[in-house]
Amino acid sequence: MADGFVKEPAVVTRKNFNPAGMSAEEIERLKPKMACACTRA
């Protein structure tokens, strides 16, 4: 990363996203949807 060829990683979530009360399966199902929404912006 120091040489500038690797970007710093970033974490993106939905606005007001709260995973409390969600199962691990539900969260895994949402991840691709959040990634698609991020790349369209």
Its pTM surpasses 0.75: no
Amino acid 28: pLDDT: 86
Query: How far apart, in Å, do the first and last CA atoms of the chain sit?
Result: 25
Amino acid 25: pLDDT: 93
Amino acid 23: pLDDT: 93
What are the residue ranges spanned by the domains of the chain? 1-41
User: What is the C-alpha to C-alpha distance for residues 41 and 29, in angstroms, rounded to an integer?
Assistant: 20
Amino acid 12: pLDDT: 66
Mean pLDDT by 10 residues, the chain (41 residues): 70 76 88 67 49
**Which of 40, 39, 31 has its CA nearest to residue 13?**
31
